Each structure stands twice: as C-alpha cells, then as structure tokens.
Amino acid sequence: MRERQSSDQFARLALLLATLISLIVSGLANSTAAASPEYQVKAVFLFNFAQFVEWPPQSFEDAAAPFVIGVLGTDPFGAALEGAVRGETLNGRSFVIERYRSVTEIRHCQILFISRSEAAHIEEISASLAGHGILTVSDAEDSAQRGLMIRFVAESNRIRLRINVEAAKAAGLSISSKLLRPAELVTSTD
C-alpha cells in the first residue's frame, strides 16, 4: 500500500514536469523561429516546386549533390523551410536550405526565394542569376513581371502562383504543365 502511494505521487510529479518543459520549449520556438501560417504554406510550396520543375544537369555540382533551396535576404520562414524538407529526398538527392545575404554568396542553388527585403533589387538579382539554372521565386510585388520566374500571390486567404514561363525557359528550366494549370502566367514587362 505504501508503495502504490509513492508511485502515484511520482506520476503526478512527472506529468507536472512534462507540462512545464513543453511550455518552456514552445515558448522558445515561438521566440526564435516563429513563422506566419502564410510562410508555412509558402515553404511547402517551395518544396513542392522541386516536384514540378526539371533542372538541367549542369545546375547541380555533381550527381550526388544535394538539392539546395536558398533564401536571399531577410528570411521570413523561420524553421518552416527546414520543416518542409525534413526527411525528404528527390531522385536520391537530399534537401539543403541555404540563406544568402547577397547574390554573390550563391554557388549552387536550384530554388531561390527572394525575400521582400530584396524587392528593390529584383531586376539586378534576376540579371545576375541568369543562366545559372536557378528557379527564382518571390512574393514581392510584380516580381514575376520583373524577371523572376514564380510569384506567390495572396488572394483571399489562399496563395496563388503567377509564373513567368519565358524567364524559366531562359534559365533552361522546364516547368510541368501541371504546375502551370493552377497558375497565372505572365511575361516580363521590360
């Protein structure tokens, strides 16, 4: 009888402890990598682009090179990108998330998200990346018309795609028609 009493007391103590720990951890996460639901979706979308786009072989360093999703500028994703690609592979390649402060940092990258922080330099970025076989994505205003390949457009709580097929073609990328279907197609205005 005494033994049971002591085990019940232990169980209550453990439960209280676990609750405390989880509260602390979740508070930490919010403070360090908190991302809005919008960017959680966009992170998944970025990952999903890997399924619908084909890259030329030379865009990879070698056959075993990982698939790189890069973020240029201020990272709005927090941990969402890492969460989206965790455990995923594509054609034997693992996913790597890289973050760049400037275009010059970019070595090998297959999908590059250009943050709104870089909205003013879009034309320059686009020009410097031309011919590198990098799918450029942004949610900056008119980014697709300004030479980027895909723009996220928020429409009544939904995120729509606006794709500049010419830009993708120019970069040697081939975008699956399935991806084009739900998307709005645009061309560069310049």
Q: Would you count residue 90 as binding another protein (CB under 8 A)?
A: yes
Token representation of residue 16: 């209280």
Q: Smallest gap, in angstroms, from Cβ of residue 14 to another protein?
A: 31
Instruction: Please give the full DSSP string across 62-110, using - where no structure is assigned.
Output: STTPPEEEEEESS---TTHHHHHHTT-EETTEEEEEEEESSGGG-SS-S
Contacts of 129 (CB under 8 A, 6+ apart): 103, 106, 112, 136, 171
- Point out which span in 5-13, 27-35, 43-51, 116-124 binds another protein (CB under 8 A): 43-51
Token representation of residue 49: 């682009």
Q: Smallest gap, in angstroms, from Cβ of residue 31 to another protein?
A: 27
Token representation of residue 46: 């970025």
Q: Smallest gap, in angstroms, from Cβ of residue 8 to another protein?
A: 38
Q: Would you count residue 2 as binding another protein (CB under 8 A)?
A: no
Exactly one of 41, 65, 119, 170 binds another protein (CB under 8 A); that residue is 41
Q: Using DSSP, how many helices (H) and how many strands (E) does the chain show?
A: 6, 10
Q: Which residue type does 188 have?
A: S
Q: Which is nearer to another protein, 12 or 160 (CB)?
A: 160
Q: Would you count residue 157 as binding another protein (CB under 8 A)?
A: no
Q: Would you count residue 57 as binding another protein (CB under 8 A)?
A: no
Q: Would you count residue 87 as binding another protein (CB under 8 A)?
A: no
Q: Would you count residue 182 as binding another protein (CB under 8 A)?
A: yes
Exactly one of 9, 19, 30, 51 binds another protein (CB under 8 A); that residue is 51
Asked whether 168 and 175 are in contact (CB, 8 A), the reply is yes
- Positions in the binding site for another protein (CB under 8 A): 41, 45, 48, 51-52, 88, 90-91, 158-161, 176, 178-179, 181-183
